[in-house]
Amino acid sequence: MSASFVTPDWIRSRFCSALSSMYRSEVPLYGDLVQLVDEVNAAAIANHEGFEGEELKREMEENRLKVERHGAIRVGKPSELYTLRRLFALMAMCPVNYYDLSVAGLPVHATAFRPITPDSLTINPFRVFTSLLRLDLITDVRVREIAYERLEKREIFRKETIELVDKAEAQGGLLSEEDAVMLVHHAMETFRWQSDALVEKKVYDELKEAHSLVADVVAFRGPHINHLTPRTLDIDAVQARMPEKKIESKHVIEGPPHRLCPILLRQTSFQAVQEPIYFLNPNPNKPGHDDKVLGFHRARFGEIEQRGVALTPEGVALYHRLMDEAERELARIATDVQFAGGKPVDNATRQRVLQECFTAFPDSWEELRAQGLAYFRYVRSSQATRRPSLMNGNPQPIDMLIDQGLIRVEPIVYEDFLPASAAGIFHSNLGDLKHLQVQQSGPDQEGFEKALGAKVVDGDALYQAQQLESMTAMLESMRTNVA
Ligand code: OOG
Ligand code: NI
């Protein structure tokens, strides 16, 4: 690589850090959450063992633990998604997986732009969960027309951003440091909060009546970043301590329960804050009507995540089976007049029911591996270097080499999202959705990919490849006895 170019990983790190400072100043409560997470992490790290132990120490040393893990935006039209893909590509962020959220009453489908190689993920794992509005799912014809018309006119990217994307593409996807700094600078304009709305108050109310999500996308000049998400080492502790910091937490933690061997992803957030917005004045020239029309909007929040091992399709199937079982039991409890009387079940009850159902999910690394439920990286252990003769010309089953301590097995972290959890996060921050009018016409991955201008990458294939590559490299090093 020419010395005058910076790496896409470098641009991603700079982008993530710019977003982080901007978001802290825009949503001060997010800063309070980060502080709480730091406190909880510091306490947890002292007695953290096993899976995360070594990695954590390394991250502490390299000061990577505090780097945000993801954020989210929602865009309104295909061309916006298309340009985002080109922009994120310069940061080595590829669209991974297709998420259909219409099943949860949300008129959007989504992907997550993220680094896909282990090295890139280690340097900076920042991802952006990106949703595209599906106006075809909105039943109200008038609302649909207003939305098309307003979105048609808006331009969420600065001309300088587009010019730099064009320039990078002409240079094989690379930029000089000076250009990369300017790219991040101009791109921030797309992600920041813009309180001057794109619509009049009457239109906003109409959009919101159809679906709060439509108002959040269509009424604004840009797809304001709606949350950032640091990593916590103890999500249960952060959830429990939010009230102490005067942070109004989401009702329940999403995802699987606490386990010895964490799987997939657990998430929670705080309730979106109310922010002032200024609507277009419908009568700008009329004397006495030139003031801005003040209103309020809730969209932006703070979230935390705790990740575990990536599951194989068999593991994912078992996860869904047990989650369904737990949801049925929780629904039963919620309708039990004596217990909850139709009110949502509290987090403690939810976690207890999940714990009970998940006793059927093996909770040791050995079992998860033996039953093919999770993905692992195979690494040659230091013992293998000392006892090379065991392998010389005499291949042995991998399980035996693991038992003999010649191979170490490390869980591969889940880097993607869970549609049901994402839907829970959306709902918690959109307020009361009693006017749900979303048509159920199923997923539209083809339509999404057309807008994106590319196919989404299959997350599962990435984990599978990582496991296989580690195994091949390890066996090869054993065979040739090159450490
Ligand atoms: C995205 C919600 C999904 C997650 O972590 O699952 C998400 C949104 O509210 O726009 O970020
Ligand atoms: Ni999120």
ipTM value, please give it.
Answer: 0.99
Alpha-carbon distance of 165 to 81, in angstroms, equals: 14
Percentage above 90 pLDDT, the chain: 74
DSSP state of 324: H
At 153, is the pLDDT very low, low, confident or very high (cuts 50, 70, 90)? very high
The values of phi and psi at residue 94, to 5°, are -110, 150
Give the number of the atom of ligand 1 that is nearest the alpha carbon of residue 303. Answer: 5
Q: How far is the CA of 130 from the centre of ligand 2 (A)?
A: 10
Q: Which residues line ligand 1 (CB under 6 A)?
A: 72, 74, 129, 131, 226, 267, 303, 417, 421-422, 425-426
At 57, is the pLDDT very low, low, confident or very high (cuts 50, 70, 90)? low
pLDDT of residue 288: 53
Ligand approaching nearest to the C-alpha of 254:
1
Identify the CA nearest to 110 among candidates 131, 81, 134, 96.
Answer: 131
Measuring CA to CA, how many Å separate 99 from each of 95, 116, 318?
11, 17, 19
From 114, 300, 417, 418, the mutation candidate for ligand 1 (largest count of ligand atoms within 8 A of CB) is 417
Hey, what are 378's tokens? 């195979």
Burial pattern 296-311, b for ≥16 Cβ within 10 A else e, equals ebebbbbbbbbbbbbb
Identify the CA nearest to 33 among candidates 254, 213, 267, 204.
Answer: 267
Q: What integer is the mean pLDDT of 309-336?
A: 95
At 50, is the pLDDT very low, low, confident or very high (cuts 50, 70, 90)? low
Beta strands in 336-401, from DSSP E residues, in sequence order: 376-380
What is the residue-averaged pLDDT of the chain? 90
pLDDT (tens digit per residue) in 187-216: 999 999 999 999 999 999 999 988 899 999
pLDDT (tens digit per residue) in 362-418: 999 999 999 999 999 999 887 766 555 555 556 667 888 888 888 889 999 999 999
In this predicted structure, the answer to whether residue 117 has a pLDDT above a threshold of 70 is yes
Burial pattern 380-402, b for ≥16 Cβ within 10 A else e, equals bbeebeeeeeebeeeeeeeeebb
pLDDT (tens digit per residue) in 238-258: 999 999 999 999 999 999 999
Q: Angle 347-357/313-335 helices, nearest 10 degrees?
A: 130
Q: How far is the CA of 71 from the centre of ligand 2 (A)?
A: 6
Q: What integer is the mean pLDDT of 39-56?
A: 72
pLDDT of residue 58: 67
At 337, is the pLDDT very low, low, confident or very high (cuts 50, 70, 90)? low
Q: Are strands 70-75 and 127-133 parallel, antiparallel or unpaired?
A: parallel
